Amino acid sequence: MIDPFGRRISYLRLSVTDRCDLRCTYCMPERMTFLPRAELLDLSELDRLAAAFIRKGVRKLRLTGGEPLVRKDVMTLVGGLSRFLASGALDELTLTTNGTRLAEHAAELARFGVRRVNVSLDSLNPETYARITRGGRLEQVVAGIDAALAAGIGVKLNAVALRGDNLDDLVGLAEWAHARGAELTMIEVMPMGPVEAERIDQHVPMSEVRHRFEQRWTLTDLARRTGGPARYVRTDEGGTIGFIAPLSRNFCADCNRVRVTCTGELYMCLGQAARADLRTPLRVSADDALLDAAIDEAIGRKPNGHEFVIRAGRRPAVERHMSVTGG
Protein backbone atom coordinates (compact mmCIF):
# COMPACT_ATOMS: atom_id res chain seq x y z
CA MET A 1 0.00 0.00 0.00
CA ILE A 2 1.56 3.25 -1.17
CA ASP A 3 -0.32 6.50 -0.59
CA PRO A 4 -0.42 9.54 -2.92
CA PHE A 5 2.63 11.01 -1.18
CA GLY A 6 4.74 7.92 -1.75
CA ARG A 7 4.50 6.69 1.83
CA ARG A 8 4.37 2.94 2.33
CA ILE A 9 1.64 1.87 4.77
CA SER A 10 2.92 -0.97 6.92
CA TYR A 11 1.33 -0.32 10.30
CA LEU A 12 -2.30 -0.83 11.32
CA ARG A 13 -3.85 0.23 14.59
CA LEU A 14 -7.05 -1.67 15.12
CA SER A 15 -9.49 -0.58 17.79
CA VAL A 16 -11.44 -3.47 19.30
CA THR A 17 -13.81 -1.42 21.46
CA ASP A 18 -14.62 2.22 22.15
CA ARG A 19 -15.30 1.41 25.81
CA CYS A 20 -12.87 2.11 28.60
CA ASP A 21 -12.79 1.53 32.34
CA LEU A 22 -11.14 4.93 32.86
CA ARG A 23 -12.35 8.42 31.95
CA CYS A 24 -9.14 10.42 31.52
CA THR A 25 -9.96 14.11 31.68
CA TYR A 26 -8.10 14.95 28.46
CA CYS A 27 -9.47 11.96 26.53
CA MET A 28 -13.22 12.01 27.05
CA PRO A 29 -15.96 13.74 29.01
CA GLU A 30 -17.01 12.22 32.32
CA ARG A 31 -20.37 11.15 30.86
CA MET A 32 -19.13 9.63 27.67
CA THR A 33 -21.63 8.01 25.32
CA PHE A 34 -20.42 4.67 24.01
CA LEU A 35 -21.60 2.81 20.95
CA PRO A 36 -24.31 0.17 21.20
CA ARG A 37 -22.53 -3.21 21.32
CA ALA A 38 -24.42 -4.40 18.23
CA GLU A 39 -22.51 -1.87 16.10
CA LEU A 40 -19.13 -3.37 16.92
CA LEU A 41 -17.40 -5.74 14.55
CA ASP A 42 -17.40 -9.28 15.83
CA LEU A 43 -14.23 -11.31 16.32
CA SER A 44 -14.28 -12.94 12.91
CA GLU A 45 -14.78 -9.56 11.24
CA LEU A 46 -11.89 -8.02 13.16
CA ASP A 47 -9.73 -10.97 12.22
CA ARG A 48 -10.73 -10.74 8.55
CA LEU A 49 -9.96 -7.04 8.50
CA ALA A 50 -6.55 -7.54 10.04
CA ALA A 51 -5.81 -10.36 7.61
CA ALA A 52 -6.73 -8.14 4.66
CA PHE A 53 -4.32 -5.42 5.77
CA ILE A 54 -1.58 -7.96 6.42
CA ARG A 55 -2.08 -9.39 2.94
CA LYS A 56 -1.60 -5.86 1.64
CA GLY A 57 1.69 -5.33 3.40
CA VAL A 58 1.01 -4.42 7.01
CA ARG A 59 3.91 -5.74 9.14
CA LYS A 60 2.96 -4.28 12.49
CA LEU A 61 -0.44 -4.57 14.12
CA ARG A 62 -1.43 -2.77 17.29
CA LEU A 63 -4.70 -3.47 19.09
CA THR A 64 -6.12 -0.48 20.86
CA GLY A 65 -9.42 1.06 21.98
CA GLY A 66 -11.07 2.37 24.17
CA GLU A 67 -9.33 -0.11 26.39
CA PRO A 68 -8.60 -3.27 24.39
CA LEU A 69 -8.42 -5.49 27.48
CA VAL A 70 -11.99 -4.66 28.54
CA ARG A 71 -13.33 -6.47 25.47
CA LYS A 72 -14.20 -9.92 26.81
CA ASP A 73 -13.11 -11.95 23.79
CA VAL A 74 -9.98 -9.96 23.00
CA MET A 75 -7.59 -12.76 23.95
CA THR A 76 -9.27 -15.05 21.41
CA LEU A 77 -8.55 -12.39 18.80
CA VAL A 78 -4.92 -12.08 19.90
CA GLY A 79 -4.56 -15.86 19.85
CA GLY A 80 -5.94 -16.02 16.32
CA LEU A 81 -3.78 -13.18 15.06
CA SER A 82 -0.67 -14.79 16.49
CA ARG A 83 -0.73 -17.13 13.45
CA PHE A 84 0.63 -14.22 11.43
CA LEU A 85 3.62 -13.96 13.75
CA ALA A 86 4.22 -17.69 13.43
CA SER A 87 4.04 -17.52 9.62
CA GLY A 88 6.34 -14.50 9.45
CA ALA A 89 3.65 -12.34 7.80
CA LEU A 90 3.74 -9.96 10.77
CA ASP A 91 6.84 -8.59 12.48
CA GLU A 92 4.99 -7.37 15.53
CA LEU A 93 1.67 -7.85 17.27
CA THR A 94 1.23 -5.45 20.14
CA LEU A 95 -1.27 -3.40 22.07
CA THR A 96 -1.77 -0.09 23.79
CA THR A 97 -3.41 -0.44 27.16
CA ASN A 98 -4.12 1.52 30.29
CA GLY A 99 -2.73 -1.47 32.20
CA THR A 100 -5.64 -1.96 34.61
CA ARG A 101 -6.17 -5.55 33.40
CA LEU A 102 -2.68 -6.33 32.25
CA ALA A 103 -1.84 -8.43 35.32
CA GLU A 104 -4.59 -10.91 34.33
CA HIS A 105 -3.48 -11.21 30.72
CA ALA A 106 0.29 -10.68 30.61
CA ALA A 107 1.34 -14.34 30.66
CA GLU A 108 -1.13 -15.27 27.90
CA LEU A 109 -0.12 -12.28 25.79
CA ALA A 110 3.49 -13.42 26.04
CA ARG A 111 2.48 -16.95 25.01
CA PHE A 112 0.76 -15.51 21.95
CA GLY A 113 3.95 -13.79 20.89
CA VAL A 114 3.34 -10.24 22.14
CA ARG A 115 6.84 -8.92 22.87
CA ARG A 116 6.11 -5.30 23.80
CA VAL A 117 3.18 -3.28 25.04
CA ASN A 118 2.56 0.42 25.46
CA VAL A 119 1.06 1.31 28.81
CA SER A 120 -0.50 4.71 29.34
CA LEU A 121 0.44 6.14 32.71
CA ASP A 122 0.42 9.86 33.39
CA SER A 123 1.49 9.95 37.04
CA LEU A 124 2.85 7.73 39.81
CA ASN A 125 1.14 9.81 42.43
CA PRO A 126 -1.99 7.82 43.39
CA GLU A 127 -4.11 10.95 43.93
CA THR A 128 -3.02 12.61 40.71
CA TYR A 129 -3.54 9.36 38.82
CA ALA A 130 -7.04 8.96 40.28
CA ARG A 131 -7.88 12.58 39.45
CA ILE A 132 -6.67 12.43 35.83
CA THR A 133 -8.30 9.04 35.16
CA ARG A 134 -11.40 9.90 37.23
CA GLY A 135 -11.15 6.98 39.61
CA GLY A 136 -8.30 4.80 38.35
CA ARG A 137 -6.29 2.81 40.89
CA LEU A 138 -2.59 3.20 40.39
CA GLU A 139 -1.68 -0.09 42.08
CA GLN A 140 -3.56 -2.06 39.40
CA VAL A 141 -1.49 -0.50 36.66
CA VAL A 142 1.78 -1.01 38.53
CA ALA A 143 0.83 -4.67 39.04
CA GLY A 144 0.06 -4.92 35.33
CA ILE A 145 3.42 -3.44 34.34
CA ASP A 146 5.27 -5.74 36.73
CA ALA A 147 3.36 -8.76 35.38
CA ALA A 148 4.21 -7.81 31.80
CA LEU A 149 7.89 -7.41 32.64
CA ALA A 150 7.88 -10.70 34.56
CA ALA A 151 6.37 -12.41 31.49
CA GLY A 152 9.21 -11.06 29.36
CA ILE A 153 7.12 -8.37 27.64
CA GLY A 154 8.90 -5.07 27.09
CA VAL A 155 7.00 -2.04 28.37
CA LYS A 156 6.93 1.47 27.00
CA LEU A 157 5.14 4.02 29.12
CA ASN A 158 3.18 6.77 27.40
CA ALA A 159 2.37 9.90 29.36
CA VAL A 160 0.45 12.98 28.24
CA ALA A 161 1.85 16.23 29.65
CA LEU A 162 -0.94 18.16 31.34
CA ARG A 163 -0.60 21.69 32.65
CA GLY A 164 -1.61 21.94 36.29
CA ASP A 165 -1.74 18.16 36.68
CA ASN A 166 1.32 15.98 36.23
CA LEU A 167 4.26 18.21 35.24
CA ASP A 168 5.96 17.77 38.60
CA ASP A 169 5.62 13.98 38.34
CA LEU A 170 7.34 13.47 34.98
CA VAL A 171 10.96 13.18 36.09
CA GLY A 172 9.89 10.65 38.74
CA LEU A 173 7.96 8.74 36.10
CA ALA A 174 11.03 8.57 33.87
CA GLU A 175 13.24 7.44 36.77
CA TRP A 176 10.72 4.76 37.69
CA ALA A 177 10.44 3.54 34.09
CA HIS A 178 14.20 3.47 33.57
CA ALA A 179 14.76 1.56 36.82
CA ARG A 180 12.53 -1.17 35.33
CA GLY A 181 14.23 -1.17 31.96
CA ALA A 182 11.20 0.55 30.43
CA GLU A 183 11.10 3.59 28.17
CA LEU A 184 8.96 6.66 28.63
CA THR A 185 7.39 8.60 25.78
CA MET A 186 5.87 12.00 26.44
CA ILE A 187 2.92 13.19 24.36
CA GLU A 188 1.42 16.64 23.81
CA VAL A 189 -2.30 16.80 24.36
CA MET A 190 -4.18 16.91 21.05
CA PRO A 191 -7.44 18.74 20.35
CA MET A 192 -9.55 15.64 19.70
CA GLY A 193 -13.20 15.69 20.67
CA PRO A 194 -14.80 17.94 23.27
CA VAL A 195 -13.86 17.52 26.95
CA GLU A 196 -14.83 19.67 29.93
CA ALA A 197 -11.50 21.55 30.08
CA GLU A 198 -10.19 24.05 27.55
CA ARG A 199 -7.44 22.40 25.51
CA ILE A 200 -5.36 25.54 25.71
CA ASP A 201 -5.28 25.19 29.51
CA GLN A 202 -4.12 21.55 29.28
CA HIS A 203 -1.53 21.86 26.55
CA VAL A 204 2.20 21.88 27.36
CA PRO A 205 4.69 22.10 24.48
CA MET A 206 7.32 19.37 24.37
CA SER A 207 10.11 21.97 24.58
CA GLU A 208 8.89 22.78 28.08
CA VAL A 209 8.63 19.10 29.02
CA ARG A 210 12.13 18.48 27.73
CA HIS A 211 13.41 21.37 29.79
CA ARG A 212 12.12 19.66 32.93
CA PHE A 213 14.12 16.53 32.14
CA GLU A 214 17.16 18.68 31.39
CA GLN A 215 17.05 19.93 34.99
CA ARG A 216 17.70 16.34 36.06
CA TRP A 217 19.84 14.86 33.26
CA THR A 218 22.02 15.81 30.34
CA LEU A 219 20.09 14.61 27.30
CA THR A 220 21.62 13.41 24.04
CA ASP A 221 19.48 13.36 20.90
CA LEU A 222 19.32 9.94 19.27
CA ALA A 223 19.18 9.40 15.53
CA ARG A 224 16.78 6.49 16.10
CA ARG A 225 13.61 6.63 13.99
CA THR A 226 10.88 4.06 14.37
CA GLY A 227 8.70 5.29 11.50
CA GLY A 228 6.59 6.89 14.20
CA PRO A 229 6.25 10.45 15.41
CA ALA A 230 8.53 10.21 18.46
CA ARG A 231 11.98 11.75 18.68
CA TYR A 232 14.22 10.13 21.26
CA VAL A 233 16.90 11.23 23.69
CA ARG A 234 19.17 9.31 26.03
CA THR A 235 19.82 10.48 29.56
CA ASP A 236 23.35 10.46 30.96
CA GLU A 237 22.21 7.49 33.06
CA GLY A 238 21.31 5.51 29.96
CA GLY A 239 17.50 5.74 29.98
CA THR A 240 15.51 6.59 26.87
CA ILE A 241 12.81 9.26 26.65
CA GLY A 242 10.67 9.90 23.59
CA PHE A 243 8.82 13.08 22.70
CA ILE A 244 5.74 13.29 20.50
CA ALA A 245 4.92 16.85 19.56
CA PRO A 246 1.99 16.87 17.15
CA LEU A 247 1.32 20.56 17.65
CA SER A 248 4.75 22.05 18.01
CA ARG A 249 6.34 19.88 15.32
CA ASN A 250 4.67 18.21 12.39
CA PHE A 251 5.93 14.71 11.69
CA CYS A 252 3.64 13.46 8.96
CA ALA A 253 6.26 13.08 6.22
CA ASP A 254 7.22 9.63 7.55
CA CYS A 255 3.68 8.46 8.35
CA ASN A 256 3.36 4.71 7.77
CA ARG A 257 0.09 4.01 9.54
CA VAL A 258 -3.68 3.91 9.32
CA ARG A 259 -6.35 3.23 11.92
CA VAL A 260 -9.53 1.18 11.92
CA THR A 261 -12.24 1.70 14.53
CA CYS A 262 -14.20 -1.06 16.24
CA THR A 263 -17.07 -0.39 13.83
CA GLY A 264 -14.85 -0.85 10.80
CA GLU A 265 -14.21 2.76 9.85
CA LEU A 266 -10.80 3.32 8.35
CA TYR A 267 -9.20 6.64 9.29
CA MET A 268 -6.28 7.53 7.10
CA CYS A 269 -4.98 10.30 9.41
CA LEU A 270 -5.32 10.78 13.16
CA GLY A 271 -5.87 14.50 12.72
CA GLN A 272 -8.29 14.53 9.78
CA ALA A 273 -11.88 13.50 9.16
CA ALA A 274 -11.05 11.47 6.03
CA ARG A 275 -12.41 7.95 6.43
CA ALA A 276 -13.78 4.94 4.64
CA ASP A 277 -16.44 2.45 5.63
CA LEU A 278 -15.02 -1.09 5.67
CA ARG A 279 -17.89 -2.68 7.58
CA THR A 280 -20.25 -2.68 4.59
CA PRO A 281 -17.84 -4.43 2.23
CA LEU A 282 -16.99 -6.87 5.05
CA ARG A 283 -20.65 -7.70 5.59
CA VAL A 284 -22.07 -7.75 2.08
CA SER A 285 -19.69 -10.37 0.80
CA ALA A 286 -17.69 -13.24 2.25
CA ASP A 287 -15.27 -12.73 -0.61
CA ASP A 288 -12.60 -10.12 0.18
CA ALA A 289 -12.63 -8.42 -3.24
CA LEU A 290 -14.91 -5.56 -2.12
CA LEU A 291 -12.98 -5.11 1.10
CA ASP A 292 -9.67 -4.99 -0.74
CA ALA A 293 -11.06 -2.45 -3.19
CA ALA A 294 -12.37 -0.25 -0.36
CA ILE A 295 -8.97 -0.30 1.36
CA ASP A 296 -7.15 0.55 -1.88
CA GLU A 297 -9.52 3.42 -2.62
CA ALA A 298 -9.01 4.84 0.89
CA ILE A 299 -5.21 4.58 0.85
CA GLY A 300 -5.38 6.47 -2.44
CA ARG A 301 -6.72 9.49 -0.56
CA LYS A 302 -4.64 9.41 2.61
CA PRO A 303 -4.20 13.07 3.61
CA ASN A 304 -0.78 14.66 3.55
CA GLY A 305 -0.89 15.42 7.27
CA HIS A 306 -2.81 16.64 10.27
CA GLU A 307 -3.57 20.23 11.13
CA PHE A 308 -3.81 20.31 14.89
CA VAL A 309 -4.17 23.81 16.27
CA ILE A 310 -5.17 24.77 19.80
CA ARG A 311 -6.74 28.18 20.27
CA ALA A 312 -8.99 29.52 23.00
CA GLY A 313 -12.64 28.96 22.24
CA ARG A 314 -11.90 27.02 19.07
CA ARG A 315 -13.66 23.76 18.34
CA PRO A 316 -11.52 20.61 18.44
CA ALA A 317 -9.38 20.01 15.36
CA VAL A 318 -11.26 16.75 14.91
CA GLU A 319 -14.66 16.09 16.44
CA ARG A 320 -14.02 12.49 17.43
CA HIS A 321 -12.31 11.58 20.69
CA MET A 322 -8.99 9.78 20.76
CA SER A 323 -10.85 6.77 22.20
CA VAL A 324 -12.56 6.26 18.81
CA THR A 325 -9.31 5.46 17.01
CA GLY A 326 -7.12 4.57 19.98
CA GLY A 327 -4.34 7.03 19.28
Can residue 281 be called a binding residue for ligand SAM (CB under 6 A)? no
Can residue 141 be called a binding residue for ligand SAM (CB under 6 A)? no
> At a CB cut-off of 8 Å and minimum separation 6, what does 146 contact?
103
Closest by CA to 66, choosing from 267, 263, 246, 226, is 263
**Residue 86 beta carbon to ligand SAM: minimum distance, rounded to whole angstroms:** 26
**Residue 326 beta carbon to ligand SAM: minimum distance, rounded to whole angstroms:** 4
**Residue 193 beta carbon to ligand SAM: minimum distance, rounded to whole angstroms:** 7
Can residue 189 be called a binding residue for ligand SAM (CB under 6 A)? yes
Can residue 67 be called a binding residue for ligand SAM (CB under 6 A)? yes
Can residue 20 be called a binding residue for ligand SAM (CB under 6 A)? yes
Nearer to ligand SAM by C-beta: 235 or 261? 261
CA distance 310 to 245: 13
Which of 17, 123, 158, 261 is the binder for ligand SAM (CB under 6 A)? 158
The bridge status of strand 60-64 relative to strand 92-97 is parallel
Q: Which amino acid is at 152?
A: G
CA distance 87 to 90: 8
Query: Which one-letter DSSP state was computed for residue 248?
Result: T
Site track 105-124 with ligand SAM (rule: CB under 6 A), x = hit: ---------------x----
| Cβ-based neighbour number of residue 210 at 10 Å | 16
Nearer to ligand SAM by C-beta: 157 or 299? 157
Closest by CA to 35, choosing from 54, 16, 56, 11, is 16
Site track 240-269 with ligand SAM (rule: CB under 6 A), x = hit: ------------------------------
Query: How many angstroms separate the Cα of 274 from the Cα of each of 173, 247, 277, 298?
Result: 36, 19, 11, 9
3-state SS, one letter per residue, for 81-118: HHHHHHHCCCCEEEEEECCCCHHHHHHHHHHCCCCEEE
Which of 113, 239, 242, 326 is the binder for ligand SAM (CB under 6 A)? 326
Given the rule CB under 6 A, which residues bind ligand SAM?
20, 26-27, 64-65, 67, 96-98, 120, 158, 160, 187, 189-190, 192, 322-323, 326-327
